[in-house]
Chain A
Protein backbone atom coordinates (compact mmCIF):
# COMPACT_ATOMS: atom_id res chain seq x y z
CA UNK A 1 0.00 0.00 0.00
CA UNK A 2 1.11 3.51 -0.74
CA UNK A 3 2.17 5.60 2.22
CA UNK A 4 4.04 8.75 3.05
CA UNK A 5 5.91 9.43 6.27
CA UNK A 6 6.96 12.78 7.66
CA UNK A 7 8.92 11.74 10.73
CA UNK A 8 8.96 15.15 12.38
CA UNK A 9 5.77 16.81 13.58
CA UNK A 10 7.67 20.05 14.14
CA UNK A 11 10.84 21.63 12.82
CA UNK A 12 12.23 24.79 14.39
CA UNK A 13 15.02 26.82 12.82
CA UNK A 14 16.46 30.28 13.19
CA UNK A 15 16.04 32.76 10.39
CA UNK A 16 18.94 32.62 7.97
CA UNK A 17 19.78 29.01 8.77
CA UNK A 18 19.20 26.17 6.32
CA UNK A 19 16.10 24.10 6.81
CA UNK A 20 15.16 20.52 5.97
CA UNK A 21 11.74 18.93 6.21
CA UNK A 22 11.94 15.17 5.80
CA UNK A 23 9.72 12.87 3.77
CA UNK A 24 9.94 9.19 2.96
CA UNK A 25 7.51 7.20 0.89
CA UNK A 26 6.45 3.69 0.07
CA UNK A 27 4.82 3.00 -3.28
CA UNK A 28 4.91 0.29 -5.86
CA UNK A 29 6.91 1.40 -8.85
CA UNK A 30 8.11 4.93 -9.47
CA UNK A 31 6.09 7.69 -7.89
CA UNK A 32 5.23 11.28 -8.58
CA UNK A 33 6.23 13.30 -5.51
CA UNK A 34 4.91 16.64 -4.36
CA UNK A 35 5.35 19.21 -1.64
CA UNK A 36 2.53 21.49 -0.56
CA UNK A 37 2.48 24.31 2.00
CA UNK A 38 -0.46 25.44 4.09
CA UNK A 39 -0.52 28.84 5.74
CA UNK A 40 -2.96 29.45 8.61
CA UNK A 41 -6.59 29.49 7.48
CA UNK A 42 -5.59 28.89 3.87
CA UNK A 43 -5.72 26.05 1.40
CA UNK A 44 -2.78 24.01 0.24
CA UNK A 45 -0.40 25.68 -2.15
CA UNK A 46 1.77 23.74 -4.54
CA UNK A 47 5.52 24.15 -3.93
CA UNK A 48 7.23 21.69 -6.23
CA UNK A 49 7.07 18.22 -7.71
CA UNK A 50 9.29 15.47 -9.00
CA UNK A 51 8.17 13.75 -12.17
CA UNK A 52 11.33 12.53 -13.85
CA UNK A 53 14.82 13.66 -14.74
CA UNK A 54 17.10 15.62 -12.43
CA UNK A 55 16.82 14.43 -8.85
CA UNK A 56 17.09 17.98 -7.53
CA UNK A 57 13.87 19.86 -8.07
CA UNK A 58 13.52 23.60 -7.57
CA UNK A 59 10.22 25.16 -6.63
CA UNK A 60 8.50 28.26 -5.35
CA UNK A 61 9.85 30.67 -2.70
CA UNK A 62 13.41 29.32 -2.94
CA UNK A 63 12.54 25.80 -1.87
CA UNK A 64 14.05 22.71 -3.42
CA UNK A 65 13.77 18.98 -2.87
CA UNK A 66 15.96 16.03 -3.66
CA UNK A 67 14.58 12.75 -4.86
CA UNK A 68 16.59 9.79 -3.57
CA UNK A 69 15.32 6.56 -5.04
CA UNK A 70 17.55 4.24 -3.00
CA UNK A 71 16.43 5.83 0.26
CA UNK A 72 12.86 6.43 -0.98
CA UNK A 73 13.08 9.97 0.28
CA UNK A 74 12.06 13.40 -0.98
CA UNK A 75 13.31 15.90 1.59
CA UNK A 76 12.37 19.56 1.29
CA UNK A 77 15.20 22.06 1.72
CA UNK A 78 15.92 25.75 1.71
CA UNK A 79 19.40 27.28 2.11
CA UNK A 80 18.29 30.25 4.20
CA UNK A 81 15.01 30.20 6.13
CA UNK A 82 12.70 33.19 6.47
CA UNK A 83 10.20 33.91 9.24
CA UNK A 84 7.53 33.98 6.51
CA UNK A 85 8.31 30.32 5.72
CA UNK A 86 6.60 29.33 8.97
CA UNK A 87 3.71 27.09 7.92
CA UNK A 88 2.50 23.51 7.74
CA UNK A 89 4.22 21.44 5.04
CA UNK A 90 2.83 18.32 3.44
CA UNK A 91 4.62 15.73 1.36
CA UNK A 92 2.43 13.78 -1.06
CA UNK A 93 2.85 10.90 -3.48
CA UNK A 94 0.91 9.74 -6.48
CA UNK A 95 1.41 6.28 -7.91
CA UNK A 96 2.65 6.64 -11.48
CA UNK A 97 0.54 3.74 -12.62
CA UNK A 98 -2.54 4.56 -10.61
CA UNK A 99 -5.90 4.73 -12.24
CA UNK A 100 -7.48 5.80 -8.98
CA UNK A 101 -6.25 9.36 -8.95
CA UNK A 102 -5.24 9.26 -5.33
CA UNK A 103 -2.76 11.63 -3.81
CA UNK A 104 -1.45 10.20 -0.54
CA UNK A 105 -0.37 12.74 2.04
CA UNK A 106 1.94 12.65 4.99
CA UNK A 107 0.66 13.94 8.31
CA UNK A 108 2.36 17.27 7.89
CA UNK A 109 5.32 19.02 9.51
CA UNK A 110 4.89 22.34 11.26
CA UNK A 111 7.85 24.55 10.40
CA UNK A 112 8.58 27.46 12.71
CA UNK A 113 11.26 29.96 11.81
CA UNK A 114 12.11 32.36 14.61
CA UNK A 115 13.74 35.75 14.11
Chain B
Protein backbone atom coordinates (compact mmCIF):
# COMPACT_ATOMS: atom_id res chain seq x y z
CA UNK B 1 0.00 0.00 0.00
CA UNK B 2 1.33 3.43 -0.97
CA UNK B 3 1.78 5.54 2.10
CA UNK B 4 3.65 8.24 3.96
CA UNK B 5 4.46 7.19 7.52
CA UNK B 6 5.27 9.58 10.33
CA UNK B 7 6.49 8.82 13.84
CA UNK B 8 5.69 9.61 16.54
CA UNK B 9 2.04 10.44 16.03
CA UNK B 10 1.80 12.10 19.43
CA UNK B 11 4.54 13.57 21.58
CA UNK B 12 4.75 15.81 24.62
CA UNK B 13 8.22 17.12 25.30
CA UNK B 14 9.96 19.83 27.29
CA UNK B 15 11.59 23.01 26.08
CA UNK B 16 15.11 22.47 24.83
CA UNK B 17 15.05 18.69 24.55
CA UNK B 18 16.07 17.71 21.03
CA UNK B 19 13.61 15.59 19.11
CA UNK B 20 13.24 14.06 15.68
CA UNK B 21 10.06 13.31 13.80
CA UNK B 22 10.65 10.64 11.20
CA UNK B 23 8.98 10.44 7.80
CA UNK B 24 9.17 7.60 5.34
CA UNK B 25 7.46 7.02 1.99
CA UNK B 26 7.30 3.85 -0.07
CA UNK B 27 6.37 5.38 -3.43
CA UNK B 28 9.89 6.21 -4.67
CA UNK B 29 8.97 9.89 -4.70
CA UNK B 30 11.69 12.45 -5.32
CA UNK B 31 9.92 15.35 -3.66
CA UNK B 32 9.28 15.44 0.11
CA UNK B 33 8.19 18.23 2.37
CA UNK B 34 7.22 19.15 5.92
CA UNK B 35 4.27 21.35 6.87
CA UNK B 36 2.89 22.58 10.13
CA UNK B 37 -0.80 23.21 10.69
CA UNK B 38 -1.98 25.84 13.13
CA UNK B 39 -5.55 27.06 13.74
CA UNK B 40 -6.51 29.87 11.41
CA UNK B 41 -3.25 29.68 9.49
CA UNK B 42 -3.79 26.63 7.32
CA UNK B 43 -0.70 24.64 6.38
CA UNK B 44 2.67 26.32 6.12
CA UNK B 45 5.72 24.73 4.56
CA UNK B 46 8.76 24.29 6.79
CA UNK B 47 11.31 22.59 4.52
CA UNK B 48 11.23 20.62 1.32
CA UNK B 49 13.53 18.35 -0.62
CA UNK B 50 13.68 17.85 -4.36
CA UNK B 51 15.82 14.73 -4.10
CA UNK B 52 18.54 13.05 -2.05
CA UNK B 53 20.93 15.58 -0.53
CA UNK B 54 18.84 18.48 -1.95
CA UNK B 55 16.90 20.45 0.64
CA UNK B 56 15.68 24.01 0.96
CA UNK B 57 13.74 26.27 3.27
CA UNK B 58 10.03 26.79 3.03
CA UNK B 59 8.07 29.61 4.57
CA UNK B 60 8.69 28.91 8.26
CA UNK B 61 12.07 27.12 8.64
CA UNK B 62 13.25 28.81 11.84
CA UNK B 63 13.94 26.33 14.62
CA UNK B 64 13.92 23.28 12.35
CA UNK B 65 16.43 21.16 10.47
CA UNK B 66 16.02 18.40 7.93
CA UNK B 67 18.16 15.88 6.12
CA UNK B 68 17.67 13.71 3.05
CA UNK B 69 20.29 10.99 3.03
CA UNK B 70 17.99 8.41 1.48
CA UNK B 71 15.20 8.86 -1.01
CA UNK B 72 12.52 7.32 1.19
CA UNK B 73 13.29 9.20 4.46
CA UNK B 74 13.00 12.86 5.38
CA UNK B 75 13.29 13.43 9.13
CA UNK B 76 12.39 16.73 10.79
CA UNK B 77 14.71 17.76 13.60
CA UNK B 78 13.95 20.21 16.37
CA UNK B 79 17.31 20.91 17.99
CA UNK B 80 15.92 22.97 20.87
CA UNK B 81 12.12 22.90 20.83
CA UNK B 82 10.18 25.85 22.16
CA UNK B 83 6.48 26.18 23.05
CA UNK B 84 5.75 28.10 19.82
CA UNK B 85 6.60 24.91 17.96
CA UNK B 86 3.60 23.20 19.48
CA UNK B 87 1.67 22.23 16.38
CA UNK B 88 0.40 19.49 14.12
CA UNK B 89 3.07 18.45 11.65
CA UNK B 90 2.59 16.78 8.29
CA UNK B 91 5.08 15.10 6.04
CA UNK B 92 4.25 14.91 2.33
CA UNK B 93 5.71 13.45 -0.83
CA UNK B 94 5.14 13.42 -4.57
CA UNK B 95 6.78 12.59 -7.85
CA UNK B 96 8.87 15.30 -9.35
CA UNK B 97 7.69 16.18 -12.83
CA UNK B 98 10.79 16.23 -14.93
CA UNK B 99 14.42 17.08 -14.29
CA UNK B 100 14.05 18.45 -10.76
CA UNK B 101 10.94 20.42 -11.65
CA UNK B 102 7.68 19.82 -9.80
CA UNK B 103 4.54 19.46 -11.84
CA UNK B 104 0.90 18.76 -11.25
CA UNK B 105 1.61 15.49 -9.51
CA UNK B 106 -0.53 14.87 -6.48
CA UNK B 107 1.10 15.34 -3.11
CA UNK B 108 0.43 12.61 -0.55
CA UNK B 109 0.34 13.34 3.15
CA UNK B 110 1.13 11.38 6.26
CA UNK B 111 -1.34 11.07 9.12
CA UNK B 112 0.23 13.90 11.09
CA UNK B 113 2.29 14.24 14.27
CA UNK B 114 0.86 16.13 17.22
CA UNK B 115 3.73 17.82 19.03
CA UNK B 116 3.35 19.66 22.32
CA UNK B 117 6.29 21.52 23.83
CA UNK B 118 5.88 22.53 27.47
Contact call B102/A94, Cβ cutoff below 8 A: yes
Query: What are some 29 contacts across the A-B interface (CB < 8 A)?
Result: A34-B107, A36-B109, A41-B112, A42-B112, A43-B109, A43-B110, A44-B43, A44-B90, A46-B108, A49-B104, A90-B42, A94-B102, A94-B104, A98-B102, A99-B100, A99-B102, A100-B102, A101-B31, A101-B48, A102-B58, A102-B59, A103-B33, A103-B107, A105-B35, A105-B44, A106-B42, A107-B40, A107-B41, A108-B42
- B83-118 to A contact mask, C-beta < 8 Å, 1/0: 000000010100010001111101111111000000
- Within the assembled complex, what's the spacing in Å between the Cα atoms of A102 and B41? 16
B-side residues, CB < 8 A to A, are 4, 31, 33, 35, 40-45, 48, 50, 56, 58-59, 90, 92, 96, 100-104, 106-112
Contact call A42/B102, Cβ cutoff below 8 A: no
A-side residues, CB < 8 A to B, are 32, 34, 36, 41-46, 49, 51, 90, 94, 96, 98-103, 105-108
Most chain B beta-carbon contacts within 10 A, residue among A43, A98, A103: A43
B56, B58, B103, B112: which contacts A43 (Cβ < 8 A)? B112
Contact call B104/A105, Cβ cutoff below 8 A: no
Given A90-B42, A107-B41, the answer on whether A100 and B48 have CB atoms closer than 8 Å is: yes
Interface SS majority for chain A:
loop
* Chain B residues whose CB sits within 8 angstroms of the CB of A90 once the complex forms: 42-43
- Within the assembled complex, what's the spacing in Å between the Cα atoms of A8 and B80? 36
* Chain A residues whose CB sits within 8 angstroms of the CB of B50 once the complex forms: 101
Most chain B beta-carbon contacts within 10 A, residue among A34, A100, A103: A103
- Within the assembled complex, what's the spacing in Å between the Cα atoms of A103 and B110? 15
Taking the nearest CB of chain B, how far is it from the CB of A92, in angstroms? 8
Given A42-B111, A99-B101, A103-B92, 14 new contacts (CB under 8 A): A34-B106, A36-B109, A42-B112, A43-B4, A44-B109, A96-B104, A99-B102, A101-B33, A101-B50, A101-B102, A102-B48, A105-B35, A105-B42, A105-B44
A34, A43, A102, A105: which contacts B111 (Cβ < 8 A)? A43
